[in-house]
Structure 1
Amino acid sequence: MLILGNGRVITRDAKEPFLENGAVVLDGNTIQQVGPLEEMKKAYPEAEFIDARGGLIMPAFINVHEHIYSSFARGLSINGYNPKGFLDILDGMWWTVDRNLTLHDTYLSAMATYIECIKNGVTTVFDHHASFGSVKGSLFEIEKAAKETGVRSCLCYEISDRDGKEKAKEAVMENAEFIRYALKDETDMIAAMMGMHAQFTISDETMELAAANKPDEVGYHIHVAEGIEDLHHCLKTYGKRIVDRLMDCKILGEKTLLGHCIYINPHEMDLIKETDTMVVHNPESNMGNACGCPPTMELVHRGILTGLGTDGYTHDMMESFKAANVLHKHHLCDPNTAWTEVPQMLFEGNAKIAGRYFKKELGVLKKGAAADVIIVNYDPLTPMHAGNINGHLVFGITGHDVTTTVANGKVLMKDRKLTEIDEAKVMADCRQAATGLAKRINNR
């Protein structure tokens, strides 16, 4: 057994949201008990003890929209890349990167991402992968990295016709094979979805192929109306709005996750709500790509299950929390907005989204929930209590303040040092692979 204690415990459990000096007791991969420090130490005297040293003890973070394949793009300069809009960004940067990835690059990209996730306190990731240079086996390379690092992962491959019908078919089959594999997994650490890029790169024929190879147990993970070009394409090509097309293709549903949803209207929101489809907001990516600000606050107010992701822009969920908080205030010219909606997305929405794919309850510290816990180095300057937790978090911490990360009962990082893998060796391998990728891209 393991006790993490001597800190302020933020449980995200409405029955007892905050303990001034508490502890969390882990029994294998499950939380056994949460309570006052001295009571827990007395009840479990033989348990190993990790001292939070007065910091915060919290549920580990969940990221419901990642792009592992983008890891090696950090600092990458591509000859002739001078984007004038979102489509130029996609083709000039991201599709260029993914077309040049080898399977080993994919594996190392996953290792690099998972290392950063652990160091930022993220233990559950929903990834949306693309590597059209090497499609077959790519999800299994990511899953290999997930197992080695200990990060819970829901994976999919980005189906698209952008590189032709054969590549699109390969993408469908990669999803189908991995879904079959994941559905047999009994660890509750791996799940799968049928991934899709966006409707403007997917023909009806490919939509039908994906549907024919998707088991009922899983849904789709697809970008929706990220750029205005996506909407214009759908109106011009199909005479309907994007969510209407997805509805007609039977893509919407409680297991389906829609990324972005910037250019959707109230009618489309009604369809999303009626079908209990999930949405994930990625604020920094939307701003960085100059795509616009989605009507996320309205989605939350309508009761649509909405989560927070990073789109690969960062692996620090607190960074995205901060960005979303100010984005919607700025966009709506309302200083009162986003105070409750954004933390609801991050701490409740993400947990509920994960709950549709993983059996054990995530995102909360209470008996029976998953043993996913982090310790954050934070000594509040002002009083901290159950009513002002989120204010302390948004203004007081970043992911780099995480000192200890526990996932599925396993200590992955302690005192900022990874315990399960040789970080220096992995990062050296990643640097070598990233250099090779950059040379291939610029010598093509």
Structure 2
Amino acid sequence: MYLIGNGKLFTRDAKNPYMECGGIIVENNLIKEVGNFTVLKNKYPNAEIIDAKNQIIMPAFINVHNHIYSSLARGLSIKNHNPKNFLEILEGLWWNLDNHLTLENDKVSAKVTYLNCIENGVTTVFDHHASYKKTEGSLMELAEVAKEYKLRTCLCYEVSDRNGEEEMKKAVKENVDFINYANNNTSDMIKGTMGLHASFTLSDDTLRYVVEQNPEGAGYHVHIAEGMDDLEDSLSKYGVRTVERLHSMGVLGPKTVAGHCIYIDDKEIDLLKSTDTMVVHNPESNMGNAVGAPDVLKIFDKGILIGLGTDGYTNDMIESYKVANILQKHMHKDPNCAWGEIPTMLFEHNAQIANRFFQTPLGKIEEGYAADIIFVDYDPITPMDENNINSHILFGMNGMNVTTTICNGEILMRDRKLLHINKEEVMEESRREAADLWRRVNANR
């Protein structure tokens, strides 16, 4: 048992949102009690004290859509690759990259990504993986690193027809094997779901096969209408829009995570709502790929559970929050919009999405919730309380202000020092693996 406290505590609990000098009693992996730091110190005199030193104390972040394997592409320049549209980006960069990834590449990409998540205060990661050079065992490589680094993660493998039927079936099997492994894991820290790339790389036969093979209750993690190619392919081949097609094939539902959803119409939004399908917005990725921007406010207002992800662009959820906020203002030409919806997506909806997979309550500092807690080194230059904390986060903080990260009751980083990871060794290994990967990628150009 230990006592976290002596800081400005923001709980995300509407009944008790803020304490000027808050304290949290943690027992095993759960929050046992929340209250005034001094009162708790007197009540639990034998508890080890984790002193926040007047920093911000808040729940750790959750990222509901990431691509761990993309980490080794940072700084990569591919010969003769000058994409003019999203499909060329996929074919020339990402599909090219994942066709060269080895299991060792997967493992190292997981190390540097999960490490960076800890540094940015992210303790729960939903990842969408692909490494078609070596599919079998790839999700376990990610999971083993997550276990070693003591993070919570939900993994899937990207099923696609782009490499032929045999590789597609290997991808389905990788998902099924991992889902069964995760279902037998009693720690509630590792989960699995069925990964799908997108409608335009999945035939009807493949979708029928996937639905048939997917273990009951596992759900799906799929990109939907991220680019116009997805919509145009669905209309031209099947005569329906993307969401309609996936609905007809049995993919939508309350445990389906739908990334992007840019090119969807009102009927499709109604389908997402009626099936209780979850949506994830990835603002920086959408802008970087020049695919457009979804009307997340319309999706939000419909009552759909829509969260915030990064799509591999960053591991800093505050950065994603900042961009999502200004992107909607720019898109709607309305400086007054998105003030409430985007932080709700990040701080409330992401936790609700995660809790459709993980049983331990997440996202609040409240009795019975997972002890996923961060300290943020931020000294406000103006008054700060529960009424304006989102504005302080938006305009005053970034992920690297995080100094201490606790996940499931385990202290992973304290005073910016990683406690279970040799960062220097990991970074050197990552640079070495990336250089070899880049050489192999460019050797085939």
Question: Normalising by structure 2, what TM-score?
Answer: 0.99
Residue 437 of structure 2 aligns to which amino acid in structure 1?
Answer: L
C-alpha deviation, 1:204, in angstroms: 1.1
C-alpha deviation, 1:269, in angstroms: 0.3
C-alpha deviation, 1:216, in angstroms: 1.8
Aligned pairs (5 A) from 1:71-90: 71-90=71-90
Residue 233 of structure 2 aligns to which amino acid in structure 1?
Answer: H
Residue 291 (structure 2) aligns with: 291
Tell me how far apart the structure 1 counterparts of residues 389 and 293 of structure 2 sit (CA, whole Å). 26
Residue 24 (structure 1) aligns with: 24
Residue 365 of structure 2 aligns to which amino acid in structure 1?
Answer: L
Residue 385 (structure 2) aligns with: 385
Residue 334 of structure 1 aligns to which amino acid in structure 2?
Answer: D
* Secondary structure at the counterpart of residue 58 of structure 1: strand
C-alpha deviation, 1:423, in angstroms: 1.2
Give the gaps of 5 or more residues in structure 2: none
C-alpha deviation, 1:279, in angstroms: 0.2
Residue 326 of structure 1 aligns to which amino acid in structure 2?
Answer: I
* Secondary structure at the counterpart of residue 106 of structure 2: helix
Tell me how far apart the structure 1 counterparts of residues 182 and 241 of structure 2 sit (CA, whole Å). 33
State the Cα deviation string for residues 368-408 of structure 1 (Å, max 9, x = none).
00011000001111111111110111011100000000001
Tell me how far apart the structure 1 counterparts of residues 413 and 389 of structure 2 sit (CA, whole Å). 24
Tell me how far apart the structure 2 counterparts of residues 411 and 424 of structure 1 sit (CA, whole Å). 19
Residue 229 (structure 2) aligns with: 229
Aligned pairs (5 A) from 1:42-441: 42-441=42-441
C-alpha deviation, 1:426, in angstroms: 1.3
* Secondary structure at the counterpart of residue 269 of structure 1: helix
State the Cα deviation string for residues 222-268 of structure 1 (Å, max 9, x = none).
00000011100000010000011011001110000100000000000
* Secondary structure at the counterpart of residue 310 of structure 1: coil
C-alpha deviation, 1:141, in angstroms: 0.4
State the Cα deviation string for residues 287-331 of structure 1 (Å, max 9, x = none).
000000101111111100000000000000000000001000011
State the Cα deviation string for residues 88-115 of structure 1 (Å, max 9, x = none).
0001111111110000100110011000
Residue 192 of structure 2 aligns to which amino acid in structure 1?
Answer: A
Tell me how far apart the structure 1 counterparts of residues 272 and 355 of structure 2 sit (CA, whole Å). 19
* Secondary structure at the counterpart of residue 64 of structure 1: strand
C-alpha deviation, 1:40, in angstroms: 1.2
C-alpha deviation, 1:351, in angstroms: 0.4
State the Cα deviation string for residues 113-160 of structure 1 (Å, max 9, x = none).
000000000000000000011101000000011011111000000000
Tell me how far apart the structure 1 counterparts of residues 438 and 298 of structure 2 sit (CA, whole Å). 41
Tell me how far apart the structure 1 counterparts of residues 239 and 305 of structure 2 sit (CA, whole Å). 28
Runs of 4+ in 1 over 3 A off after TM superposition: none
* Secondary structure at the counterpart of residue 156 of structure 1: strand
* Secondary structure at the counterpart of residue 279 of structure 2: strand
Residue 272 of structure 1 aligns to which amino acid in structure 2?
Answer: L
C-alpha deviation, 1:52, in angstroms: 1.0
C-alpha deviation, 1:50, in angstroms: 1.4
Give the gaps of 5 or more residues in structure 1: none
Residue 76 of structure 1 aligns to which amino acid in structure 2?
Answer: L
Please provide the CA RMSD for this pair.
Answer: 0.6
State the Cα deviation string for residues 54-78 of structure 1 (Å, max 9, x = none).
1110000000000001010000010
Tell me how far apart the structure 2 counterparts of residues 4 and 336 of structure 1 sit (CA, whole Å). 37
C-alpha deviation, 1:2, in angstroms: 1.6
C-alpha deviation, 1:443, in angstroms: 1.1
Residue 184 of structure 1 aligns to which amino acid in structure 2?
Answer: N
Tell me how far apart the structure 2 counterparts of residues 388 and 296 of structure 1 sit (CA, whole Å). 22
Residue 15 (structure 1) aligns with: 15
C-alpha deviation, 1:43, in angstroms: 1.2
C-alpha deviation, 1:51, in angstroms: 1.3
Tell me how far apart the structure 2 counterparts of residues 44 and 238 of structure 1 sit (CA, whole Å). 64
Percent identity (aligned)? 55
Tell me how far apart the structure 2 counterparts of residues 24 and 289 of structure 1 sit (CA, whole Å). 42
Residue 233 of structure 1 aligns to which amino acid in structure 2?
Answer: D
Count how many residue pairs are aligned between Structure 1 and Structure 2.
444
Tell me how far apart the structure 1 counterparts of residues 270 and 192 of structure 2 sit (CA, whole Å). 27
Residue 351 of structure 1 aligns to which amino acid in structure 2?
Answer: A
* Secondary structure at the counterpart of residue 326 of structure 1: helix
Residue 206 of structure 1 aligns to which amino acid in structure 2?
Answer: T
State the Cα deviation string for residues 400-437 of structure 1 (Å, max 9, x = none).
00000000100000011100111111111111100100
* Secondary structure at the counterpart of residue 324 of structure 1: helix
Tell me how far apart the structure 2 counterparts of residues 3 and 413 of structure 1 sit (CA, whole Å). 16
Tell me how far apart the structure 1 counterparts of residues 417 and 199 of structure 2 sit (CA, whole Å). 42
Residue 198 of structure 2 aligns to which amino acid in structure 1?
Answer: A
Tell me how far apart the structure 1 counterparts of residues 394 and 32 of structure 2 sit (CA, whole Å). 29
Residue 375 of structure 2 aligns to which amino acid in structure 1?
Answer: I
Tell me how far apart the structure 2 counterparts of residues 364 and 10 of structure 1 sit (CA, whole Å). 9
C-alpha deviation, 1:345, in angstroms: 0.2
C-alpha deviation, 1:205, in angstroms: 1.3
Residue 26 of structure 2 aligns to which amino acid in structure 1?
Answer: L
